[in-house]
Amino acid sequence: MSANFSKRVELALSDSQLGENLDINAEHMRDVYAEVFGELGDLEAQRERAHQIRRDVVQNLPSYLEVFSENLERNGWHVHRATDAHQACAQVVAIARECGADRVVKSKSLLTEEIGLNHTLESAGIQPVETDLGEFIIQLRGETPSHIIAPAMHLNRQQIGQTLSEKLGMPATDDISAMNAAARATLREHFLSARVGISGVNFGIAESGMVCLLTNEGNGRMVTTLPPVHIAIMGAERLLRRAQDLPLMLSFLSRAGAGQRLSTYQSLLRTPRRADDPDGPSERHIIIVDNGRLALREGELSDILLCIRCGACLDVCPVYREIGGHSYGSVYPGPIGSVLSPGLLGTESFGHLAKASTLCGACYDICPVKIDLPTLLLRIRRRYASQGMGSTWIRWALKLYAWTMRDPSRYGWGRRLLKLATALAPKQKGWIDRLPYPASSWTESRHFPQLLGEPLRDRIQLGRDSGSSSTLPAAEPSLEESPVGARAHRDPLLEFEAQVTRLGGEFHRSSLTSLPGKLDALLSDLGIRRLLHWSRPGHPAMQRVLTFLGRSGYELISPEVPRGDFSARLRTNGSLAAAGAGLTGAAAAFGQTGTIVLPQGPGQSAITSLLPPLHIAIVASDDVYANMAEWIEAQGGGTLHSAASTLFVSGPSRTGDIEMTLTLGVHGPGRLIIFCLD
């Protein structure tokens, strides 16, 4: 394995295009992290809290998993436990077969890569369609992801344009929005017609029996909303105890994962479609996969289970920056992968990855849940060495070194020998420029200093200069950091407006009386005649707007997806997808992140805010909170625990999967207009 690693590294290092793509990513993310973590005044305290939240979960994992499973079942989920990859894949195939699916749509999930799900599905005659833009691109290329968050980060726009041209038959282009549009059109068909949607799980909420999924493009929403059957695949350790832990963990995952305060969509999936829900899958399955995780809990690597798969350690790692994700030869690359891969899949196969690090600590510094990765890497190195693996000459050299260094006189002789050797070696301007193998590994790219003169121990003269301290200037007052502290208290409504706009959404204030006219003007400007809408009775603003728009001749559709009959469902989906806009209310909004809260349940279809290219949301100004934590506190999780699912939306659908270039409107609406009622 180690020899293959060296070959892949050699290949990566000689690929100058890859090197450039990786450098750009590293430098971009450095700035992004400085911004999104820099603005948190109490970052260290928050990281410590996040560490404790996750550590508590790992320590109590078996009992939390019991609670989680019970609550999920109470909420109507089918819960499956899989001890290994084989069992997990077999469970997915069985469910898909039972639905008569020959095709499944998938949102991004590393775990499905870990268990080799796509391969198993294909062998079973079921076509897996990756729907995350980056995953879609690498699936077309027959590659594997090179990054936890940005699977296609090793490619530039020309390389991707060529792939899309070859595989989708689109004209060759390096226009990123044209590439997005082509992928969107292809995948839209799949979403509307698939019988099974497969997603990963970012967090399971044990006490609520909920599954939380983050996505920016909206593909995660598609696969968990449109197909009649949803299968969520979750690593057994990906739990949070309670909904109150979400605000911090979602903030950290979004910031560390993609440099956002909150990723665009956060779906909290609680139940399958209930009797009076207008849409959503009738069946939700969850497969909780162990595959070595519970065994890791017991040992010295247990902290690796704290990982929330944000990928930040990859972005800051100087080794990853040089060799890229594919060199690691594992689903999990970078610092986290160098611990997780040997931890889950064996030291024999992956222990060598732990040595591909300078232990510089950048990973530990950025990790939002404070995993001490350098120490874990050291522990794997110890295991690896104690199993007799690794370079033979280094092992013997270090044995000799240790034998020499534990005795001062041997050290003295060793130094004299080395001095002689360096005196004989060829030099340039006093430094050695060539050494024989294996030391040539050093001199191939740097010179080496010569041992000159006497060592310090023989030349040191002590006590020449003592006692002159009185003349020295006194210490300056220490330069304490200015307290960043809590950000100045701002009006949540003003902040909400600023954040919505910053994210590429549009914000308007309106009175109840002028709202219908404003909407009419907007829609007729855009030439939109058909719109989907929420029909929740008792929402006065919505009623008023709908009455007005109905009288003005708009075709108003309150979606109701047919149950059972799949071809009727296909027809309905097709016609719903042709609507020009979706009109919803919002249960609440968060100022700091520009987020709106959309519960899904009777009269509140999920599709309305998902399928149309334009989403219009009406928010009451009284419902604007400072942030998610404040809302959950005020509500006691009331909405979260009554809706079939709850969606947080921060801005329009977006992706940065091609050259980190922001493109709006991938799978979800590309335009978001929020009317805030006074």
* Contacts to another protein from residues 355-394, by CB under 8 A: 355-362, 364-365, 375, 378, 380-386, 390-391, 394
467 lies in the binding site for another protein (CB under 8 A): yes
Count CA atoms within 13 Å of residue 386 on its CB side.
6
156 lies in the binding site for another protein (CB under 8 A): no
Shortest gap between Cβ of 288 and another protein (angstroms)? Answer: 33
Per-residue three-class SS string for 397-463: HHHHHHHHHCCHHHHHHHHHHHHHHHHHCCEECCEECCCCCCCHHHHCCCCECCCCCCCHHHHCCCC
Shortest gap between Cβ of 61 and another protein (angstroms)? Answer: 23
Question: Cα–Cα distances in Å, from 180 out to 355, 670, 671?
Answer: 39, 12, 15
Phi, psi at 292, each rounded to 5°: 100, -5
User: Residues 9-28 vs another protein: string with x where CB under 8 A?
Assistant: xx--x-----x---x-----
Shortest gap between Cβ of 328 and another protein (angstroms)? Answer: 12
Nearer to another protein among residue 19 and residue 602 (C-beta): 19
Stretch that binds another protein, among 223-231, 455-463, 617-625, 649-657 (CB under 8 A): 455-463
454 lies in the binding site for another protein (CB under 8 A): yes
CA distance 94 to 491: 53
Stretch that binds another protein, among 48-56, 123-131, 286-294, 396-404 (CB under 8 A): 396-404
465 lies in the binding site for another protein (CB under 8 A): yes
Nearer to another protein among residue 68 and residue 350 (C-beta): 350
User: Can you read off the two tokens belonging to residue 284?
Assistant: 């939700």
Nearer to another protein among residue 292 and residue 390 (C-beta): 390
CB 651 within 8 A of CB 504: yes
Shortest gap between Cβ of 360 and another protein (angstroms)? Answer: 4
Q: Is 175 exposed, middle or buried (0-12, 13-18, 19+ CB in 10 A)?
A: exposed
298 lies in the binding site for another protein (CB under 8 A): no
- 29 DSSP assignment: H
CA distance 357 to 538: 60
Nearer to another protein among residue 322 and residue 630 (C-beta): 322
489 lies in the binding site for another protein (CB under 8 A): no
Shortest gap between Cβ of 313 and another protein (angstroms)? Answer: 13
275 lies in the binding site for another protein (CB under 8 A): no
Measured in whole angstroms, how far is the alpha carbon of residue 252 from the centre of its chain? 10
Using CB under 8 A as the binding rule, the residues of this chain from 605 to 644 that contact another protein are none
CB 234 within 8 A of CB 291: no
Shortest gap between Cβ of 622 and another protein (angstroms)? Answer: 46
Shortest gap between Cβ of 369 and another protein (angstroms)? Answer: 17
Q: What share of the chain is helix, strand, coil (3-state, %, to 5)?
A: 45, 15, 35
CA distance 343 to 370: 18
Q: Where would I find the H helices in 578-676?
A: 628-635
Shortest gap between Cβ of 418 and another protein (angstroms)? Answer: 7
Shortest gap between Cβ of 381 and another protein (angstroms)? Answer: 3
User: Can you read off the two tokens belonging to residue 497?
Assistant: 């407006």
CA distance 530 to 361: 55
Using CB under 8 A as the binding rule, the residues of this chain from 526 to 555 that contact another protein are none
Using CB under 8 A as the binding rule, the residues of this chain from 401 to 430 that contact another protein are 401-408, 411, 415, 418-419, 428-429
464 lies in the binding site for another protein (CB under 8 A): yes
Judged by CB under 8 A, the residue of 16, 445, 482, 513 near another protein is: 445
Judged by CB under 8 A, the residue of 3, 275, 424, 474 near another protein is: 474
67 lies in the binding site for another protein (CB under 8 A): no
User: Residues 312-331 vs another protein: string with x where CB under 8 A?
Assistant: ------xx-xxx--------
Task: Report the run of H or E that residue 293 belongs to, with start and end.
Answer: helix 293-298
CA distance 211 to 420: 67
Q: Tell me how many residues contact another protein (CB under 8 A).
A: 86
Judged by CB under 8 A, the residue of 16, 392, 466, 513 near another protein is: 466
Question: Cα–Cα distances in Å, from 459 out to 37, 404, 416, 456?
Answer: 49, 22, 15, 5
Judged by CB under 8 A, the residue of 43, 439, 498, 629 near another protein is: 439
Judged by CB under 8 A, the residue of 185, 295, 398, 578 near another protein is: 398
Stretch that binds another protein, among 92-100, 177-185, 466-474, 596-604 (CB under 8 A): 466-474
SS3 530: strand
User: Can you read off the two tokens belonging to residue 112?
Assistant: 């499905």
Using CB under 8 A as the binding rule, the residues of this chain from 178 to 237 that contact another protein are none
